[in-house]
Amino acid sequence: MEWIKQVLSQNALWSLLLCIFIQFISCNTDDLPQRARNLMESSPLIDGHNDLALQLRRIYKNRLSKINLRTINTTRTNLQKLKTGHVGAQFWSAYVMCSAQDKDAVRLALEQIDVIKRMCEDYEELEFVTSSLGIEITKKIGCLIGLEGGHIIDSSLAALRMFYELGARYMTLTHTCNTPWAETSSDDLHKFYQGRKSLTDFGTEVIREMNRIGMIIDLSHTSSNTSREVLAISKAPVIFSHSAVFALCGIKRNIPDDVLLSIKKNGGLVMVNFHTEFIACRKTANISTLADHFDYIKKLAGPGSIGIGGDYDGVTGFPEGLEDVSKYPLLIQELLRRGWQDEEIRGVLRDNFLRVFRDVESIRDQQLNLRPSEKEIPEDELSYTCRLDLQNFQQRSAKASGIQEISISAFTLITYMLSCIFIFW
Ligand SMILES: [Zn+2]
């Protein structure tokens, strides 16, 4: 044993051991970017919310011919950055500002869908998809549409169904305003339909119809009470397409613990928002601040309840290091550093969303025998007058057709009499 002590006491051996230790530490750290890249290459991200289309309207009036989406740098999103960020599918938000409620929200939404579809047709890197299978089999970046703001359907289930026909696959029930049938989390920003609490009866019918047609219910922006009520009645899993955790940043726009637990029970998903004012309640934050939200949801609701909804181009403040859509791998690196398992991260990147989407499609397929709902919102629950008064219109039409019938009968009688006179003549 004496000779071992002698050897160990030699400086050279200590130096060698130190070198091996440093090598081990640095190898493991250096490995993280590669591990993150490998994971994202085999499981490209499905992101729940991007507002590029809003910027296209705001800056370019939707004139796609004037810009090159591969290299555009007035936005946080372009095609090159999406590739670098390993984005495999993107929900593009067809967002309509609340001030258009009860005015031309339907037209504005149609125009946003139009610009998204044109964008996805114009660039060979993109492909418009409308199903879970579509996302899985495309070799391009899958383009999906999310409607942001229930005011877009103008309280019409027929309009909801037609937006689905156009390819929209989720609808955020409210934006920052109440609709006639659902309560927002930001009811102090607009004066629409004040006093709405959670869902009305018509709101419940909207949920049933969304379940029936296979439109994913998005609870981001809704009040906690709306979320609770929807979670209690929805047959299908629901999502928060771009939200964060209330316990870590206590604003009404974020999700409280009891709702996170209900999401777990519902089989739904929280796609975490990156906006600094939602994750840190201030203008600055770093990647670690954001990763805390992932850790929190994982601990409370499990890794199967988490996804990513960056909200790029919808808000201004992003964590240091995550300034645009090319930076997603840095977040994945941070989760790996915190000990997240590969399978958990694959879930966050895409598998959890695909599970939810498949479940929503399967609930739709189980209800094929149900007829489309013909329920209408009661007139007295709407507070505007620019709709055509269909009741008067119908009465007027009935009156007009009555007059027409009388005049047709008179004409027939006169013709008959004249023909009789002519024959007897
Ligand atoms: Zn939003």
Q: pLDDT, tens digit, for every residue of 133-187?
A: 999 999 999 999 999 999 999 999 999 999 999 999 999 999 999 999 999 999 7
Clarify whether residues 283 and 166 are in a common domain: yes
Clarify whether residues 73 and 103 are in a common domain: yes
Clarify whether residues 411 and 359 are in a common domain: no
Clarify whether residues 231 and 365 are in a common domain: yes
* Cα separation of the two ends of the chain: 146
In terms of residue numbers, what domain contains 420? 389-424
Residue 7 in domain: no
Helix (H) or strand (E) holding 257: helix 257-266
Clarify whether residues 295 and 410 are in a common domain: no
Could you tell me the distance, in angstroms and rounded to a whole number, from the CA of residue 314 to the centre of ligand 1? 7
Clarify whether residues 368 and 393 are in a common domain: no
Residue 185 in domain: yes
Clarify whether residues 172 and 298 are in a common domain: yes
Clarify whether residues 93 and 149 are in a common domain: yes
Question: Which residues in the chain land under pLDDT 70?
Answer: 1-30, 385, 393-425
Length reported for the chain:
425
Residue 79 in domain: yes
Clarify whether residues 223 and 320 are in a common domain: yes
How high is the pLDDT of residue 190? Answer: 84
Residue 255 in domain: yes
Could you tell me the distance, in angstroms and rounded to a whole number, from the CA of residue 167 to the centre of ligand 1? 19
Q: Is 242 considered catalytic here?
A: yes
Residue 302 in domain: yes
Clarify whether residues 374 and 393 are in a common domain: no
pTM score: 0.87
Judged on CB neighbours under 10 Å (0-12, 13-18, 19+), 345 is buried
Tokens of 283: 């203008």
Could you tell me the distance, in angstroms and rounded to a whole number, from the CA of residue 307 to the centre of ligand 1? 16
How high is the pLDDT of residue 191? Answer: 87
Q: What is the CATH number of the domain that holds 136?
A: 3.20.20.140
Q: Is 275 considered catalytic here?
A: no
The active-site residue out of 86, 151, 175, 190 is 175
How high is the pLDDT of residue 102? Answer: 92
For the chain, what is the domain count?
Answer: 2
Q: Is 136 considered catalytic here?
A: no
How high is the pLDDT of residue 19? Answer: 42
Residue 95 in domain: yes
Clarify whether residues 155 and 207 are in a common domain: yes
Q: Is 51 considered catalytic here?
A: yes
The active-site residue out of 86, 190, 221, 275 is 221
- Beta partners for residue 47, in sequence order: 90, 308
The active-site residue out of 86, 151, 242, 275 is 242
Clarify whether residues 197 and 172 are in a common domain: yes
Alpha-carbon dihedral angle through residues 97, 100, 102, 107, given to the nearest 10 degrees: -100
How high is the pLDDT of residue 30? Answer: 63
Residue 16 in domain: no
Q: Is 324 considered catalytic here?
A: no
Residue 9 in domain: no
Could you tell me the distance, in angstroms and rounded to a whole number, from the CA of residue 345 to the centre of ligand 1? 24
Could you tell me the distance, in angstroms and rounded to a whole number, from the CA of residue 53 to the centre of ligand 1? 13
Shortest CA distance to 115 belongs to which of 48, 55, 158, 162?
A: 55
48 in Cβ contact with 241 (< 8 Å): yes
Could you tell me the distance, in angstroms and rounded to a whole number, from the CA of residue 173 to the centre of ligand 1? 11
Could you tell me the distance, in angstroms and rounded to a whole number, from the CA of residue 170 to the centre of ligand 1? 13
Could you tell me the distance, in angstroms and rounded to a whole number, from the CA of residue 358 to the centre of ligand 1? 24
